[in-house]
Structure 1
C-alpha cells in the first residue's frame, strides 16, 4: 500500500453506500467526494430519489452512479454487484448504511412485513453485500480497504418497543466484529472493519423518540463525521455519544434487576420509544 492510501484510504477509491439516496447515506457520499474518491456508488430502493441524488452529486466532477436495488433480496444484490464491477470496478470501501425500524411491542409486529423485513434489510443485506465483494477486497492488497457497518446503540442494550430492531442490530454487531477478527487473524490487514453504534439521530427514522438522560438526539452531520473518522482510521468500534459506552459498562456490572431500575427510572432508556412515530418506509419497487 502507498503512503497515500494508508493516510487517506478514500482517495482514488470506489465507495459503495447503501441507503444512499438521502439522509446519512447522502452525507457519506458527500464526504467521499470531498475526500477525492474515484467513484461513488449509491444503492437505494427509491429509484427516483437515488437518481436525483446522483445527478446532484455528479456536479462535483466525481463519477457518481445510482442503482435501484432492493437489498432485502439476495438476487438483486448479486445482479447489482455485477453491474458495479462492470461499470466502475469492485468497491474499495463498503458502507452498509441502509436500515428500517418498526417501534411497537413484539406481539404487534407482522411476521413478514416487520420481522422478516427488518432482519433482511438491517442484518442479512449487510452480510450478503459484504460477502459478495469481500473476495475482491481480499485479493487486492495494493490499497487499503474499509467496511463501515452502521449498527446502533440499540444493539448493545435491550429496550421496550425495539425488540426486532434491537435483535437486528445485536446480530449486526456480533457479525461485524467477528468479521474484523477473522480478517486480522488470517492476515488480511489491509481490510479494516468499523462498527458504528450511535444513539438516536434526527434523520426522521426515529421521529418521536426521546434521548435518555444526558443523551441528546444526535445531528446527522455529527454522527456521520464520527463514523467517517473511525472508518478512515480503521477504528474497530465507534460509539456515540459517550453515554452509550457508559450504559454498556453499567449493564455489564449491575445485576439485571438493578440495571432495569437504573435504565428505567434514572436514565429513562426504557421509555425513550414511548412516543415514537417514525416515518413510513419506502415501498419496494415493482418488478
Structure 2
C-alpha cells in the first residue's frame, strides 16, 4: 500500500504527542475518516480545531481505554457513526518510572490495562469486520524497546509492553494461518522519543532520544508496507541479539557498564 486515501483510521491517544502526529499524517494523505480517541477532552478539542479545515471527516471520542466497558461503548458508537475502521493505531500508553515496590496496586493495574489490555480489547472489537473485508487492513501496536530488555525503574512498564509484543506478533501469525493475510499487523518497539512522556530519561550508548516526527514517519511507512516488526533505532535490535546470546551475568555487566541501559531512568521525571 502507498496511502490510506479514502480509508478509515482509528488512533488512540490521538490528542497529543505522536498520536496527534499520526492524525495529521492521516489528514494529509486524505483519509476518508479519522477517528480520534483520547481521555483528555481539552487536548482532543484542540487537535480537532487544528485539523477541522482539512476537508477530512474527523470523529473525536472521549474514551477511557483503561475501561473495557468504555471501549465497548465507544466501539459501538464508532460502528453506528461511520462503520468499522480499516486501520487501527494502538498508540496510547502510560509509564510510571518507579521501582516495583514504589508502585501502588492502582499504578500496576492501570499500566497493564492501558498498555497491554486496551490494544487487545480495541482490536477485538473491530477485527471481525477487518477479517471479513476484502480490502487491505492494518493493525499497528506501539510497544517499546522496553519489551526487548529488562530495565530498572520500568518493571511494570516492561511487563505491559512485553505482553503487548507477545500478543501483537502472535496475532500476526494467527491471521496468516487462518487465511486472513490481508489484515497485516505491525508491532513497533521504539526506544525513547522526545514527547515528554519520558522526560528526564536518557538513551543508552549510541541510542539517542528520537524526534517524534522521525518515529511517526518510520511507523507510517512500516504500517503501509505491512512490516511485521519495527525496532528503532538499530541499537534496539543489537541489544536484543546481545541479550539473547550473552550469559545473563555478562549481559548485565555490559548493559550496565558499557551501554548504560540500566541507568537510563535514573533522572526520569515524566510528563
Provide TM-score, normalisation by structure 1: 0.93
Distance in 1 of aligned mates of 2:10 and 2:153: 32
1:41 aligns with 2:35: yes
Match runs of 1:64-143 below 5 Å: 64-112=58-106, 114-141=107-134, 143=135
Distance in 2 of aligned mates of 1:247 and 1:206: 20
Distance in 2 of aligned mates of 1:200 and 1:109: 21
Matching residue of 1:282: none
C-alpha displacement of 1:36 = 1.5
Matching residue of 1:3: none
Matching residue of 1:285: none
Distance in 1 of aligned mates of 2:236 and 2:105: 30
How many residue pairs align between the two structures? Answer: 271
Matching residue of 2:52: 58
Matching residue of 2:244: 252
The alignment's C-alpha RMSD in Å is: 0.7
Partner-residue secondary structure (3-state), 2:152? coil
Gaps of 5+ in 2: none
Structure 1 segments, 4+ long, off by >4 Å, are none
Distance in 1 of aligned mates of 2:51 and 2:104: 37
C-alpha displacement of 1:85 = 1.1
Moved more, 42-51 or 235-244: 42-51
C-alpha displacement of 1:176 = 0.2
Partner-residue secondary structure (3-state), 2:218? helix
1:11 aligns with 2:5: yes
Report if aligned partners of 1:30, 1:57 keep a CA contact under 8 Å in 2: yes
C-alpha displacement of 1:34 = 1.5
Matching residue of 1:269: 261
Distance in 1 of aligned mates of 2:184 and 2:251: 34
Gaps of 5+ in 1: 1-5, 280-287
After superposition, the C-alpha distances for 1:151-204 in whole angstroms (9 at most, x for unaligned) are 000011000000000000000000000000000011101100000100000000
Partner-residue secondary structure (3-state), 1:149? strand
1:144 aligns with 2:136: yes
Provide TM-score, normalisation by structure 2: 0.99
